[in-house]
Structure 1
Amino acid sequence: MSAAHEGAAGRAARRRYATLGRSVALFRAFLVEQTDPDRFYGLLAEDSVRQVAGYTALAGRTVLDVGGGPGYFAAAFRAAGAHYVGLDPDVGDFSAAGESVAGMLRGSGTALPVRTAGVDVAFSSNVLEHVPTPERMLDEMVRVTRPGGLLFVSFTPWLSPWGGHETAPWHYLGGDRARRRYQRRTGRPPKNRYRETLFPTSIGATLRWARGCAGVEVLDALPRYHPWWGRWVIRLPGIREVVAWNFLLVLRRTGTEPAGAAEKTELTGGRVAM
């Protein structure tokens, strides 16, 4: 099978998977994130692994999860045959999903304790908005990924309806104001504190970083939870910051190309507005 045919087959498979039913299921699980985290994060982990597998084989590959937190992703990646390594400032969080902390790394996403070109897949789910210097974390993920390897990064843009996390939608009136309102209503500060543990990250800035990074090639840029026919919103600067909800960037580390590597999709090649 030719590389071009493999690329077309991969795109078709991703479209069949990214259905409206899948989007609805994710949204329904999201509604109970606080009361039933096992349901939401377990579903999200399975969904994420399936997404990654649409771009590269996982069996036998080393996956670094930057900001792994509770170990839901560990179980899902290992079930797919990957060698999973989770990194988090507090590895004790892995126990929330009943996962062992053995083999986990404690460290910062902006200074990864991993050798250069040491992993096949660098993965991060909903972490970038919690980093004060997101470009530095992205640079580190590029550094540790081998040539031909995959980077899979998603985050919630600040102007998304959930951009303020538990303080949303009041973050639209300002992060500090939303934080004060939350504390008045609950008697405690939010976990995600504006400009302390939550930062106004944007799709536009992340795409500009990707365009200017000499070490990567953009494979996909899409709204992570939308059905495939909703991906066009990423082409609309400004609007995408609100309606994308959660942004996904899939990159290939440039260099010697291994067999079976992912192919570029129709949203690359300069057609995504930066």
Structure 2
Amino acid sequence: MTRPRANRMKDPSLRRSLALFRAFLREQDDPESCYALLARDAVDQVEAYDGPVAGRTVVDVGGGSGYFTEEFRRRGADAFLFEPDVRELGEKPPDSTVIADGYLLPLRDAAADVTFSSNVLEHVADPEIFLSELVRVTRPGGLIYVSFTNWLSPWGGHEWAPWHYLGAERARARYRRRTGRAPKHTLGENLFAVHIGPTLRQVRARDDITVVSARSRYWPFLAETVVRAPGLREIATWNLLLILRRCPP
């Protein structure tokens, strides 16, 4: 397998960012198109840092309905979905899907060439334990892809964003009044206030991984620069992407 010469992805195009943003706006009406596009984009990012995924073992942790797993398989990877919530799987989850908690994956150490987690970290009560489990199942030299929507992002409140800036309970009440139904997420139950600064400090303090890149997942320019600005990054990054490399023992 040939990896890219540089472990750094160039900032993608404005066209790409606009296409993703338009897809997000249609998420409720056309989730199939939205998540299929996001999956293609995410696997493009993995391959930009680590070369083609064909023939490699990929573990998708918390991948919901399986769009990411299916895209990895389309490109020739041996990809497996581990999802803790059966309600997230949809009507036709990928074959060999495993119902499993991301805190305790039913995998041996160093089982995966690529461990992938898209927008899951903000849904776990202890991100540090979750990240440790991703590291454990990744082979030395393997890639770990983690992205999450940080709490102070304009999208941090998920379906009740951006009103979370005025408080979670107020935002949830507004959502209920506007839609006539209860919101999917409750702060402290299935959504947690995860911040970029503490997360970066946690991963940089570890001696079993190297931080290859910390960048905004969707920005078309200065994607790594904005993450270096304390305070500003908590809002402007929108969604943090961490590309980590498992160190040899």
Instruction: Give how far 1:231 is off.
Output: 2.8
Whole-angstrom distance in 1 between the partners of 2:202 and 2:174: 34
Whole-angstrom distance in 2 between the partners of 1:152 and 1:245: 17
Which residue in the other structure is 1:253 paired with?
246
Which residue in the other structure is 1:271 paired with?
none
Which residue in the other structure is 1:182 paired with?
175
Whole-angstrom distance in 2 between the partners of 1:161 and 1:19: 21
- Normalising by structure 1, we get a TM-score of 0.85
Matched, 1:41 2:35: yes
Matched, 1:106 2:99: yes
Instruction: Give how far 1:78 is off.
Output: 0.5
1:59 to 54, 60, 70: 54
Matched, 1:242 2:240: no
Instruction: Give how far 1:186 is off.
Output: 2.7
Q: Identical aligned pairs, as a percentage?
A: 54
- Normalising by structure 2, we get a TM-score of 0.93
Which AA in structure 2 matches 1:131? V
Output aligned runs, 1:96-175, within 5 Å.
96=91, 98-100=92-94, 102-175=95-168
User: Which consecutive unaligned segments of at least 5 residues does structure 1 have?
Assistant: 257-274
Q: Does the 8 Å contact 1:74/1:84 carry over to 2?
A: yes
Change (3 A) 1:60 1:228: farther
Instruction: Give how far 1:92 is off.
Output: 6.1
1:7 to 5, 8, 25: 5
Matched, 1:32 2:26: yes
Instruction: Give how far 1:91 is off.
Output: 4.5
Whole-angstrom distance in 1 between the partners of 2:87 and 2:192: 24
Whole-angstrom distance in 1 between the partners of 2:167 and 2:86: 32
Which residue in the other structure is 1:269 paired with?
none
Q: Does the 8 Å contact 1:91/1:105 carry over to 2?
A: no
2:74 to 74, 79, 93: 79
- Partner SS, residue 211 of structure 2: strand
Which AA in structure 1 matches 2:41? D
Instruction: Give how far 1:93 is off.
Output: 3.7
Whole-angstrom distance in 1 between the partners of 2:45 and 2:234: 22
Q: Does the 8 Å contact 1:71/1:93 carry over to 2?
A: no
Which AA in structure 2 matches 1:143? R
Q: Does the 8 Å contact 2:217/2:223 carry over to 1?
A: no
CA RMSD after TM alignment: 1.8
Instruction: Give how far 1:246 is off.
Output: 0.7
Q: Does the 8 Å contact 2:159/2:183 carry over to 1?
A: yes
Which residue in the other structure is 1:260 paired with?
none
Render the CA deviation track for 1:105-153: whole Å, top value 9, x for unaligned: 1111112121111111110000110111111100110111111101000
Matched, 1:201 2:194: yes
Greater helix content: 1
- Partner SS, residue 38 of structure 1: helix
Whole-angstrom distance in 2 between the partners of 1:25 and 1:247: 19
Which residue in the other structure is 1:227 paired with?
220
Q: Does the 8 Å contact 1:67/1:87 carry over to 2?
A: yes
- Partner SS, residue 139 of structure 2: strand
Which AA in structure 1 matches 2:10? R
Which AA in structure 1 matches 2:82? L
Instruction: Give how far 1:19 is off.
Output: 0.9
